[in-house]
Amino acid sequence: MNSKGNIKKDNSQIAFLIDGFLKVRSTTSVLIETHLDEDSLNAFIEGQLSKVESQPIINHLVGCSFCRQVTAELVKLELSFAETDPVVSQHSEPTKVSEVINGLFSRLFGNTTGEVFAHQEPEDEKEDKKDENN
């Protein structure tokens, strides 16, 4: 490598070699059974992890083509939505979560399962209501 020209040519050749090598390697990768959870994937994609935090994730991504492909697709997806303004729904009144969920189940399974998803009021809310009544 005596000149810049040679460096470029050599780099181009090695890039071609590494391209072929990596594509073959990706078809022969060992199957990894444990994958990264959504929380870790997202934190990594958003660049929220420090060196200590991201090192195990990078190590995993180098060996796990499944998770790497998921991160790659999520990066593409994030980029597609990066410049879009947040959309706020048009509902003007609070809807009961139990109603929303029951509605969804009706659509998904054709019947309601209200008894399973009966709303549980948190203890402190019950106490608040008691205070209001008193």
Partner 1 sequence: MSPELALYDSLLENCEVVMDEIYSRCSENMPNFGVKNGCFNDSLKKTARKYLFKENNKPTSDEIKTFLIEIQAEDLFMAMACSNGNERAWWEFDQNHRGYLERVSRHLARSEADAQDVVDTVYVELYGTRVVDGERVSKFASYSGKGSLRGWLRTIVWHSLVDLHRTSHDEVSLDEMTENLGEGLAHASFAEQNLGGEETMLDQITIDRYRKVTVSAIEDAFANLENHEKLLLLYYHVDNLKLREISRLVQEPESELRSWFQRKSVNREQNPDTKIHESTVMRWLEKTYGKVLKYFKNDLQTQAGLKSEEIGICMQLATKDLANSSLYRNLLKR
Render the burial of 16-51: b for 16+ CB within 10 Å, e for the rest: eeeeeeeeeeeeeeeeeeeebeeebbebbbeeebee
- How many residues belong to the site for partner 1 (CB under 8 A)? 82
Residue 6 touches partner 1, criterion: CB under 8 A: no
Residue 114 touches partner 1, criterion: CB under 8 A: no
Q: Give the footprint of partner 1 on residues 20-39 (CB under 8 A).
A: 20-28, 37-39
Residue 86 touches partner 1, criterion: CB under 8 A: yes
Q: Give the footprint of partner 1 on residues 52-81 (CB under 8 A).
A: 52-56, 58-59, 61-62, 65-66, 68-70, 72-81
